[in-house]
Amino acid sequence: MTDRLAALFPVPSSSISSSPASSSPSSSSRSSSSSPSSSFSSSSPVLPHHKLIAFSVARDLLLSVLRCSIRDAKLRDEAVRSAKSACLNCAEGAGRVTRADKARAFAIARAEAVEAAAAVEIAALCGDTSAARADEVARVVSRLVGLLTGLVR
């Protein structure tokens, strides 16, 4: 599962060694500029949401929700959808121009993050995930809500 998450959410190239000796031939062929995993390479444009700390924390939320491995399919679907929506609304807010449009998107992202946390909390109460994983999600959501509250005002 960790390999799948790493493929979906690559580490920015600034934290990866750029020496050719440190990568295998197969990994260097996958890191060409046409592959989706190179979206954080130095040659790619920096999009507005890449500059937003809240987007990074929203990604952490999504990864935390996925790590929960919620057994109840409906709760898992709800938690994952809400976490994805929080990420996407953070990106949308970063791309908006007017203050009102930004505030609306960030407010929706905040509500989606809280919904994801509630779904994981309910899953923990029902025994469908561990309390430790639910606490991890709650910590991430608490940070994200604080960041997004500042962006809504």
> pLDDT tens, 73-85?
999 999 999 999 9
Q: How far is it, in rounded angstroms, from Cα 32 to Cα 50?
A: 20
Instruction: Please state the separation of Cα 93 from the chain's center in Å.
Output: 15
118 contact partners, CB below 8 Å, separation of at least 6: none
User: Could you give the dihedral angle defined by the CA atoms of residues 124, 87, 85 and 88, in that order, rounded to the nearest 10 degrees?
Assistant: -170
Both tokens of residue 34?
């046409």
Is this structure's pTM higher than 0.75? no
* Helix, strand, coil percent content, the chain, rounded in steps of 5: 75, 0, 25
Residue with tokens 């709760």: 75
* Mean pLDDT of the region 124-146: 98
**Residue 68 pLDDT > 80:** yes
User: 């750029």: which residue's tokens?
Assistant: 18
pLDDT bracket for residue 45 (50, 70, 90): confident
The more confidently predicted of residues 84 and 15 is: 84
Spatial CA neighbour of 132 closest among 141, 120, 143, 142? 120
**CA nearest to 50, candidates 36, 35, 40:** 40
